[in-house]
A and B are shown apart, each in its own frame.
Chain A
Amino acid sequence: MSSSLKRLASVERGESVVIEVVGAAGAHGLRLRELGFARGRKVRVLETHDPMLCVVDQARVGLARELAEGILVQ
């Protein structure tokens, strides 16, 4: 299972994934979780440039690629 983990930043445009690990520490990690980037939630990637554009739980959220690097999904 862990072999199929990848970074949210490397997800293709239009792809849907499930969040496994939110790696960002401290304030950013908390902010991400509050906006719905928490373990077990589905994310769809709309735009892959920086900042990225994702849909989490029907909400569109823009987030910096450096944060998406720390989020592991499958």
Chain B
Amino acid sequence: MSAVLVDAASNIRRIAVAGNPNSGKTTLFNALTGLRQKVANYPGVTVEKREGTLRGYGDVTLLDLPGAYSLSVQSPDERIPRDVLLGRMADTPRPDGVTIVVDASNLGRNLYFATQIIELGLPSLIALNMTDRAASGGTPVDAAALARGLGVPVVSTVGHQTRGVDELARAIAAMDRARPPQRHWRLPPAVEGVVQRMADSLADQGVAPRDACDGLALLLLTDHRGAASQDGEDVWPAAVEGLRASAITELSRLGIDDVSELIVDARYTVINDLVDRVAPRGVAAGRAAALSDRIDRIVTHRIGGWIVFVAIMVAMFLAIFLWAEPLMGAIETGQGWLQGVVRAALPEGALRDLLADGLIGGVGSVVVFLPQICLLFLFIALLEQSGYMARGAFLMHKLMTRVGLHGKSFIPLLSSFACAIPGIMSTRMIENRRDRFTTILISPLMSCSARLPVYLTIIAVVFGGNVWLQTAVICSMYLLGVVAALLIARLLKRTLLKGPPPTFIMELPPYQLPQAGAVLRTMWERSSQFLTGAGTTIVAICIVLWALAYFPRDADGARLAAAQHSAAMAEASMEDADTLAVRLAEIENERIGRQLRQSYLGRIGHAIEPAVEPLGFDWKIGVGVLASFAAREVFVGTMGMLFSVGESQDDGGQLRSRMRADVWSDGPRIGRPIYTVPTGVAIMVFYVLCCQCASTIAVVRRETQSWRWPAFMFAYMTVLAYAGALLVYQAGTRLSG
């Protein structure tokens, strides 16, 4: 029986592309397919599924499998290459063949994965990738001998250079569908007998196509301890588990306790022999490897490494904040201009206000963060593709294990200082589900760029003009977020997401010069994901918020304002144009303030005042905090509305002086100022600890595939924020008498 399945309707052949991480697989895949790629997610996991048409061969579709070192499954995401190749993956039919990218400079380990794939019985082709690491000084690997040894065709390529790619594309299009490859090595005869019987039973029960069952039996026996040790998510039918258990019992009767080790060692013995035949002089280390050695002597050094690390982080954040500023200013100007155009073009009314304030304002509040996010993704792509990111994880690991996390968690946490959304998206590279979810749940505690305007406004109101004091307060807010995140991580890893601290085993890829095209492509793909994912949520919420503040309309207030307006116009003399403009702006601001106070949002604010009063918040702060649950960046704008300061002419000063002058209008503190130091610090602490961002919640929902985790995150952060603010305010007022 042939394992080849041809798409009957379209006659399109689907070829999977597999390979070790850092084998040059992605570069080759991009060269083979060009820019027209389809990116989706595999159902149930967040691993990207990337497909593209083979350039020059419209009837061949290539499917890029996630990079892996083997087909063993130790985390849910790792089952994808194996299950796709076996045809067990929902929504992904079994491919008609597989191209395996093999890095010539690391032949042994790459062939380990390649032989496992070949044994699954799909027509196979090896792309022997001669990176500059291996190819310096001629071709050290005998491709023809390798093809003979493996029993599958081998094509040599050099990274993204066209010559090899054209030849590879030709070979892929001409792949032999009829002859499935076979295992070319044998285990000791007694063991071999057990494996064969298991393979036959697997085939008889229809677990996988018959050609795949020999390889599958070996995989099941290799995996027998690994699979159970993790989250137990690698679920096989009971019949398969039964076959595995009886094979293991049979083998232990033969005196074999660790069949996994036996199979791995046998495979490596065969591979070592093969490597000796195809590269008898050993693969030349090449200049790049020697350079990587020299760089690593500094970058992974226990002291030098930290100096480099801190320097890179500081440079990155300075660049993000400094370079993004002019672009953000330009976007705000553009947004203002667009709102002006809409206001001028449409007749007065709800539609005009919805478009100008709700929609353009809402879209603008998202787009204004795009420069920072693009820059952040640019730097992350550069760090990833140069090979530095793995060094960062290597250095941070010791520190992160103290709270039960892996060194890799530092990357999402770092990104979250700009925005938690890209941070949470980048947790995908953490294999262990519990470590990944812990990292997701603490990422929003990192002070993101949307919190900065809140800190700046409140600090200016309650701490006055002392720059050193202001800086110290801001730094302690950032620090509070980090400390809270680490403590929560420690707590989660001991309770809800209980698990041992992860053990570090990670390849540090050779350093390489990032390619501009690949970097920009990664940056754009992630940024547009942010825009569409977060953008739609924020816009929807901004519209709802706008409606709550807009309705019901205050007809009396509008009439009053109109009367004041005409009176002012009538009184004004010609030479007093400036005074008139100020007076008219005041009238308009008063009208906006009145409207807001009696809108649904204002009524809600008064209703919640008793709940926020113990934190030292009045109803206006309550409304600002409440509105911020959609997106915390609306706080300053909402306060501007509540203090009747038109946003357009607000340079911050007017709002701040009005906030400073605000006093309690009722209750025990009547007549005393609202914005005292304890209240100000309580507001900031609340913003540090609270998850006020609907987009973050939406992203957590997507990444965890459940509402349970985002609901938990929202709940714990709200409780934490309330408790934190309560503690700060109550302790602060008592201390200050």
Contact = CB atoms under 8 A, between A and B. Distances in A.
A63 B261 CA distance: 19
B69 A35 contact: yes
Contacts of B107: 57
Given A31-B505, A53-B508, A46 B72 contact: no
A69 B107 CA distance: 27
B302 interface: yes
A59 B503 contact: no
Contacts of A41: 108, 268
Nearest to B133: A58
A50 interface: yes
Interface string A39-54: 1110000110111010
B505 A32 contact: yes
Interface stretch (B193-201, B288-296, B348-356, B729-737): B288-296
A5 interface: no
Contacts of B6: none
A58 B289 contact: yes
Contact of B504 (A27, A34, A63): A63
A55 B510 CA distance: 11
The size bracket of the interface on B is: 35 or more
A64 B109 contact: no
B105 interface: yes
B433 to A, nearest CB: 14
A61 B507 contact: yes
B338 to A, nearest CB: 50
A47 B300 contact: yes
> For chain A, which range describes its interface: under 10, 10 to 19, 20 to 34, or 35 or more residues?
35 or more
A39 B510 contact: no
Contacts of B297: 46
A64 B504 contact: yes
B264 A64 contact: no
A54 B506 CA distance: 11
Contact of A26 (B229, B272, B394, B504): B229
A41 B267 CA distance: 13
Q: For the complex, would chain A's binding face be called helix, strand, loop or mixed by DSSP majority? A: mixed
B398 A34 contact: no
Interface in B69-83: 69-70, 72, 74
Interface string B505-528: 111111000000000000000000
B603 to A, nearest CB: 57
A50 B431 CA distance: 20
A36 B37 CA distance: 33
Contacts of A49: 302
Contact of B301 (A25, A47, A55, A64): A47
B719 interface: no
Nearest to B70: A34
Contacts of A35: 69, 109, 505, 507
Contacts of B230: 27
B302 A59 contact: no
Contact of B225 (A22, A27, A50, A59): A27
A62 B229 contact: no
Nearest to B506: A62
Contacts of B133: 58
Contacts of A27: 74, 225-226, 229-230
A15 to B, nearest CB: 15
A67 interface: yes
B1 to A, nearest CB: 31
B106 interface: yes
Given A40-B272, A64-B503, A59 B226 contact: no
Interface in B395-423: 397-398, 407
- 8 interchain residue pairs of minimum CB distance: A27-B226, A51-B504, A34-B70, A60-B508, A26-B225, A64-B504, A27-B229, A36-B109
Interface of B: 69-70, 72, 74, 105-109, 112-113, 133, 222-223, 225-226, 229-230, 260-261, 264-265, 268-269, 272, 283, 285, 289, 292-293, 296-297, 300-302, 390, 394, 397-398, 407, 503-510
7 contacts: A30-B72, A30-B223, A31-B69, A33-B265, A34-B70, A51-B397, A56-B109
